[in-house]
Amino acid sequence: MNRRLVLGMAASALLAAFSARSQEKVVRIQARKFSYSPSRVTLKKGVPVTLEFTTADVAMGFNAPDFNVRTDILPGQTSRVRFTPDKTGTFVFLCDLFCGEGHEKMSGQLKVVA
């Protein structure tokens, strides 16, 4: 292959990757004793999303079992999970790390639309 063709193919691949990232939705979620804000998030099926979590309280968790997505949320750090919703509907997410009395009520909803 000639050098220009290889460089052109590499540039096309980089441009495609950049374009996909620029279409990706980023949702910032704050975890507090004993809630997520926002607690309802609407996403589009097939569109990649990054959820960014912060907390100033104690260590917490995020688990969206219908999408096999989970992360720990630690004070003073930003936790990120990236996934592409592959089905429509309303799905529960929850804290799966005991964070104190009231933990069992800490949940939210992911609504995925077509």
pLDDT bin (cut points 50, 70, 90) of residue 32 is very high
Q: Is the pTM of this model over 0.75?
A: yes
Q: SS3 for 26? A: strand
Q: Is the peptide bond before 34 cis (omega within 30 degrees of 0)?
A: yes
Q: For the chain, which domains are there?
A: 25-113 (2.60.40.420)
- Span 22-32, mean pLDDT? 89
Q: Which carries the bigger pLDDT value, residue 2 or residue 6?
A: 2
Q: pLDDT tens across 44-71, in order?
A: 999 999 999 999 989 999 999 999 999 9
Q: Which comes out higher in pLDDT, residue 99 or 50?
A: 50
- E strand or H helix at 23, and its extent? helix 3-23
